[in-house]
Amino acid sequence: MLPPLTPGTVLRNRYTITEIVGQGGMGSVYKTMDKRLPGRLCAVKEVQPDPNATPEMIAQAQAQFLQEASILAQLDHPNLPKVSDFFADNGRDYLVMDYIPGSDLKELLQEAIEDSRVIEEDVALEWTMQILNALTYLHNHTPPVLHRDLKPANIKLTPDNRIKLVDFGLAKLLVADDMRTITVIQGQGTALYTPLEQYAGEFDRTDARSDIYALGATLFTLLTGSPPPSAKERFLSPNALKPPNEINPEVSKAVSEAIVWSLEMHPNKRPDSAITFRKALKGQISRQALEQDNRPSFAQALADNRIAAFGVAGLFIVAVLITIMRIL
């Protein structure tokens, strides 16, 4: 990976880097000053090309980045930073968005742990409801957008108590009428908050329920003080996950059950949307009630399987007739 840019570097004759605020395997995130709008702070996310990629692969990845960044720039929601610009420079791609002040939830949780406490349920739920607002907006966008890297470190609480999802590094756009998905920046998310299907690489079949899993893992962490076992660990040890209220008795039964539901290994067994997860956390619905409602009645089951039922009935009648004839 190329070294990060140094403070004082000016990008596109507009964004002056003041400090590096994050680094990863794909690039860095910089805090910058906007020379065109004095006083405005921006966060500039840098994406570097794969050093092993061919020129054709790099060109394709850059074109894909610019296409998808244009979609992110259309997003407008109070719980999301506004993406205002995107460009390529010296072989690197850049995404410019609002700089969000405040502490992330990982920092707030660490402060709580140092004070021998965990985040109170009503506080954690207030934050979670704001995140669900953002997810509902993203998942219902055209095309739908997945965050793909929800975790405490990627969620900030601003000084005015507003939650912001701050990292679109793994945002995905779902392509209508296509089994594939396309990714702004290739990656697998953070292991402790990543569902099993997100490890699938080229066979990745993530959808909105993947974000639900990551949010459930985040809420689990806030309420218990530690993340749940990873999906890989649970694949090998199916009983590794303990309900949150067994770890922290202050967690209500409804919230604990909703979190466990969101952390189901198979996507089909999780809440099907952010709206459903919200209702579960509020105790308005439960998995058991939904399964009961979706269970077909005897009449419906008979109607759905009428051919088989008629066949069984016919065989029964034939068997009775044969028995009677033998008796006679």
User: Does residue 5 belong to any structural domain of this protein?
Assistant: no
Question: Are 309 and 235 within one domain?
Answer: no
Last residue of a domain, one of 42, 63, 98: 98
**CA angle 146–147–150, rounded 5-degree value:** 140
Question: Are 19 and 141 within one domain?
Answer: no
Which of 163-172, 192-201, 283-292 has the weakest average pLDDT?
163-172
Structural domain for 258, as ranges: 103-292
Answer whether residue 179 shows pLDDT above 70. no
Distances 254 to 223, 244, 283, 284, 324 between C-alpha atoms, Å: 13, 11, 5, 9, 59
User: Does residue 4 belong to any structural domain of this protein?
Assistant: no
Answer whether residue 26 shows pLDDT above 90. no
Question: Are 251 and 109 within one domain?
Answer: yes
Last residue of a domain, one of 81, 98, 115: 98
Instruction: Clarify whether 122 is annotated catalytic.
Output: no
Task: Give the model confidence (pLDDT) of 228-246 as tens digits.
Answer: 999 999 999 999 999 999 9
pLDDT for the residue numbered 322: 60
Task: Give the model confidence (pLDDT) of 58-90 as tens digits.
Answer: 888 788 788 778 888 899 999 999 999 999 888
Question: Are 77 and 110 within one domain?
Answer: no
Question: Are 79 and 129 within one domain?
Answer: no
User: Does residue 2 belong to any structural domain of this protein?
Assistant: no
Answer whether residue 6 shows pLDDT above 50. yes
Domain count, the chain: 3
Last residue of a domain, one of 79, 98, 117: 98
CATH number of the domain that 281 lies in? 1.10.510.10
Question: Are 56 and 168 within one domain?
Answer: no
Answer whether residue 298 shows pLDDT above 90. no
Task: Give the model confidence (pLDDT) of 277-290 as tens digits.
Answer: 999 999 999 888 88
User: Does residue 1 belong to any structural domain of this protein?
Assistant: no
Question: Are 181 and 248 within one domain?
Answer: yes
Task: Give the model confidence (pLDDT) of 124-157 as tens digits.
Answer: 999 999 999 999 999 999 888 888 889 999 999 9
Question: Are 88 and 222 within one domain?
Answer: no
**What's the mean pLDDT when you consider all of the chain?**
84
Identified catalytic residue from 93, 149, 167, 211: 149
Higher pLDDT, 25 or 280: 280
Ordered DSSP codes for 111-177: HHHHTT----HHHHHHHHHHHHHHHHHHHTSSS-EE----SGGGEEE-TTS-EEE---TT-EEEPTT
Question: Are 128 and 168 within one domain?
Answer: yes
Question: Are 317 and 247 within one domain?
Answer: no
Nearest residue to 223 (alpha-carbon basis) of 242, 190, 241, 250: 250
pLDDT for the residue numbered 168: 58
Question: Are 33 and 131 within one domain?
Answer: no
CATH number of the domain that 41 lies in? 3.30.200.20
Question: Are 254 and 177 within one domain?
Answer: yes
